[in-house]
Amino acid sequence: MEITARAPGMIILAGEHAVVHGYTAVASSIDLYTVVSLRLHLNEDSIRLQLEDVGLDFSWPIKRIKEVLSHLGSPFSSTPTLCSLETVKSITALVDEQSFPETRIGLASGVCAFLWLYTSILGFKPGTVIATSELPLGAALGSSAAYCVALSAALPAFSDSMKLDVNKWAFEEEKIIHGRPFGVDNSVSTFGSMTGIDSNMPLRMLITNTKVGRDTKALIANVSARKSRHPDAFKEWSTIIQSHTVDDLSVTANEDRLRELMEMNQGLLLSIGVTHASIETVLQTAMKHKLASKLTGAGGGGCWLTFTYLYPQLPGAIVDKLVKELESYGFQCFTARIGGKGVQISFDGCS
């Protein structure tokens, strides 16, 4: 039997740096997914991880894993315990035995998180896990959280107990990958929709990946040095998005207010020093088409959000023209629905 789980990526609509300082961010799932499939093997003696999108395939003999991680594997607990520094060192030793291309060395922590989760939940049962994703890596779209959540949803199906807190296990994986995550990414990927907001508004965004790498920790440190507060912004975002009115006049008014908020939000982000030349290119290109845009995530590169439309019957020709222009600069574009379902599990392809 094969188990498949898919988990959505996420974006931060507002408050990407405010959340670091204890304020609320408006975050939402998007309809771009990471999919993890798991199949156990009766006649093999290895644990295998295939990351298909990046062409990496890892395999560890069960005997070797037992030597290094003998303290894991049993008894299975529905509640995760902290992965200790000693355990991280032991898992890192196993991962270092694999051949990592220099350009993919940044994925090593994600492989460590997999080994910890697998042995914590399934012990030393041989099996193969295959991960694929529609999300670009390291682009502020929650790719690592979606990967962690999908793994945390799939693996328990073959354990002795299905009663597992997916979000808590995913958060522990995120700690292995990022050190001190805030828990927003994995929570949004697990539960879907928007954080703390009940919305029936079919909001869509154009997401532009600038393909520019950035040092998130350095950007956060720089912002902390000159942080700025805008306490009423979240309230206004929430009020607009939770609006259930659908007449033409209210739609137009909400669009105008959201555009204005995005422009204000981007202005604040610019003032705290997290912009980049590629981001300014996206901003100026969108402005030519009278569309509001802002960065998402830490900034300094990564991805960009462009507010396109609230309701699908509105014309998309302008967006199509914008996409072609942005792609001519070498950027990667996605259209995504904001909000929606969280993690989902299927058995042998049946939901």
Measured distance CA(118)–CA(95) in Å, rounded: 14
Assess if residue 303 is contained within a domain.
Answer: yes
Please name the amino acid found at residue 190.
T
Q: What pLDDT, on the 0 to 100 scale, is given for residue 252? A: 64
Residue 110 sits at the vertex; the CA angle it makes with 121 and 104, to the nearest 5 degrees, is 150
Q: What pLDDT, on the 0 to 100 scale, is given for residue 239? A: 64
Helix axes 277-288, 317-327, angle to 10 degrees: 150
Query: What is the dihedral sign for C-alpha 192, 286, 299, 263?
Result: negative
Question: 213, 303 in Cβ contact below 8 A?
Answer: no
- Starting at the edge strand found earlier in the chain, the sheet holding 332-337 runs 293-296, 303-309, 204-209, 332-337
What is the number of structural domains in the chain? Answer: 2
Q: Tell me, yes or no, whether 284 and 329 share the same domain.
A: yes
pLDDT in tens, the chain (351 residues): 789 999 999 998 877 766 666 667 788 899 999 999 999 987 889 999 999 999 999 999 999 999 998 877 665 666 777 888 889 999 999 999 888 777 787 789 999 999 999 998 888 999 999 999 999 988 889 999 999 999 999 998 877 665 678 999 999 999 998 887 878 899 999 998 887 666 666 678 889 988 876 666 666 666 566 554 444 554 555 566 566 555 555 556 667 777 777 887 787 777 767 777 787 888 889 888 888 888 887 777 778 888 776 545 445 678 888 899 999 999 999 888 888 789 998 877 444
Q: Tell me, yes or no, whether 232 and 325 share the same domain.
A: yes
- Starting at the edge strand found earlier in the chain, the sheet holding 46-51 runs 56-61, 46-51, 127-133, 26-40, 2-14, 344-347
Question: 262, 292 in Cβ contact below 8 A?
Answer: yes
Q: Tell me, yes or no, whether 42 and 181 share the same domain.
A: yes
Q: Tell me, yes or no, whether 179 and 233 share the same domain.
A: no
Q: What pLDDT, on the 0 to 100 scale, is given for residue 73? A: 63
- Tell me which residue of 12, 2, 33 sits closest to 343, measured CA to CA: 33
Length of the chain: 351
Q: Tell me, yes or no, whether 177 and 231 share the same domain.
A: no
> Residue 136 belongs to a domain with what CATH number?
3.30.230.10
- Three-class SS of residue 95? helix
Assess if residue 262 is contained within a domain.
Answer: yes
| Residue 198 is a catalytic residue | no
Q: What pLDDT, on the 0 to 100 scale, is given for residue 311? A: 45
| Cβ neighbours for 99, distance < 8 A, ≥ 6 positions apart | none
Q: What is the DSSP letter of 124?
A: T
Q: What pLDDT, on the 0 to 100 scale, is given for residue 263? A: 80
Q: Tell me, yes or no, whether 160 and 211 share the same domain.
A: no
Assess if residue 198 is contained within a domain.
Answer: no
Q: What pLDDT, on the 0 to 100 scale, is given for residue 351? A: 44
Q: Tell me, yes or no, whether 128 and 80 share the same domain.
A: yes
Kindly report the backbone phi and psi dihedral angles of residue 74, in degrees, each rounded to the nearest multiple of 5, phi listed first.
Answer: -170, 155
Assess if residue 240 is contained within a domain.
Answer: yes
What is the C-alpha R_g of the chain? Answer: 21
* Residue 304 CA: distances (Å) to CA of 81, 121, 205, 207, 208: 36, 37, 10, 6, 5
Query: What is the dihedral sign for C-alpha 223, 224, 227, 230?
Result: positive
Q: Tell me, yes or no, whether 235 and 292 share the same domain.
A: yes
Please name the amino acid found at residue 44.
E
Measured distance CA(284)–CA(326) in Å, rounded: 11
Q: What pLDDT, on the 0 to 100 scale, is given for residue 64? A: 94
Assess if residue 152 is contained within a domain.
Answer: yes
Measured distance CA(18)–CA(180) in Å, rounded: 16
Q: Tell me, yes or no, whether 221 and 175 share the same domain.
A: no
Question: 147, 133 in Cβ contact below 8 A?
Answer: yes
Q: What pLDDT, on the 0 to 100 scale, is given for residue 350? A: 47
Q: Tell me, yes or no, whether 49 and 161 share the same domain.
A: yes
- Tell me which residue of 142, 125, 242 sits closest to 185, measured CA to CA: 142
Q: Which of 31, 96, 185, 198 is catalytic?
A: 185
Assess if residue 258 is contained within a domain.
Answer: yes
> Residue 269 belongs to a domain with what CATH number?
3.30.70.890
Q: Tell me, yes or no, whether 24 and 115 share the same domain.
A: yes
Q: Tell me, yes or no, whether 227 and 87 share the same domain.
A: no
- Residue 269's domain comprises 204-337
